Structure 1
Amino acid sequence: MLRSYLRLVLFALGLLVGVQVPGFINDYGQRVEAHRLESERSLQGFRETAQRFFQGDLHALVAHYRASDDPVMQSDAQSVAQLVERFAQLEGEWSAMQGPWYARAWHVAVTADRQLLTETWQGYNYQILLQPQAIAWGLGCALLLAWLVELLALGIGWTFGVGRKHKIIQHEQRHWR
């Protein structure tokens, strides 16, 4: 009976953890988009300058700044290059978050920007979404957790002989008569 309750608790725990996944992925996507928009605003003036003098090529603008004899312009070249690089990274993150649900989940789990992931985790509020995808994630995680713990418990029990019936062969039964 206790074992049945433990299974129910594990299933409920897996369900509660699983329904968090879509909300976290959604929050991460919103954070990426907010950072991308802010990065785009930071580059706006430089984009206008690059459009006027370099046919919109920001890398050519950075190269021009670096080639300048003015130490202030050379210093600004590094700052602008970092802004351009960060925008490219955020654009890549944003593009990855526009795919199907499984691609977004894989991206967040494996290749997400660690800084943005940490920010998302620190600002995340647990929520229970009653959307089909959240319910599916919840049930999937619940079943997976229950199955893994059950396999682990059975494996440990089998290793240590718990639940196995041992046949004791008496001395006289082992010999042929």
Structure 2
Amino acid sequence: MLRSYIRLVLFALGLLIGVQVPGFITDYAQRIEAHRLEAQQALEGFRKTATQFFGGDLDRLVAHYRASDDPVFQNDADSIGVLMRRDQMLERQWQAMQGPWYERIWHVIAEANPVILQETWAGYRYQVVLTPESIGWGLACAFLLSWIIESIALALAILILPRRKSRRLV
């Protein structure tokens, strides 16, 4: 009987963990989008200048700043370069989060920006949202966790507990 309750608890734990996955992925995508919009806004003035004088080419604007004898312009070239790289990184992250669910999951697991991922973990609030996607993730995680723990327990029992010899009735 205790074994059945342990199975139920493991299943419920897996279910509760699984329903968190879509919410966390959504929170990460929203953070990426917010940072992306902020980076674009930070570059807006430089984009206007690049459009006015360099046909919209920010790289040419940066090259012009670097070629200047004025150390202030040279320093600004480095600052604009940092903003441009961040904008490009966030754009790639945002594009990756626009794909199908399995690509978004893989992206967060393998290629997420560590700083924004940590921000998402720090700000994430556990929630039970019963969308079809959350229910699917919950059931999948519940079955997987239950199966893994049961398999480990069975393997340990086979290795640790000696086999009983069956008695033959004569």
TM-score, normalised to structure 2's length?
A: 0.96
1:165 aligned onto 2:170:
no
Structure 1: gaps of 5 or more residues: 169-177
Deviation at 1:126, TM superposition (A): 0.4
> Runs in 1 of length 4+ with deviation above 6 angstroms?
none
Report Cα offsets for 1:73-103 as digits up to 9, x if no partner. 0000100000000000000000000000111
Write the distance in 2 (CA, Å) between the matches of 1:13 and 1:65: 57
Write the distance in 2 (CA, Å) between the matches of 1:74 and 1:103: 40
Alignment-mate amino acid for residue 156 of structure 2: I
Deviation at 1:52, TM superposition (A): 1.1
Write the distance in 2 (CA, Å) between the matches of 1:166 and 1:96: 58
1:75 aligned onto 2:94:
no
Count residues in correspondence: 167
Whose radius of gyration is greater, 1 or 2? 1
SS at match of 1:107: helix
- Structure 1 vs Structure 2 CA RMSD: 1.1
Identity, % of aligned positions: 60
Alignment-mate amino acid for residue 9 of structure 1: V
Deviation at 1:167, TM superposition (A): 5.5
Q: Which residue number in structure 1 is paired with residue 136 of structure 2? A: 136
1:31 aligned onto 2:31:
yes
Q: Which residue number in structure 2 is paired with residue 96 of structure 1? A: 96
Alignment-mate amino acid for residue 141 of structure 2: C
Deviation at 1:145, TM superposition (A): 0.2
Structure 2: gaps of 5 or more residues: none
SS at match of 2:130: coil
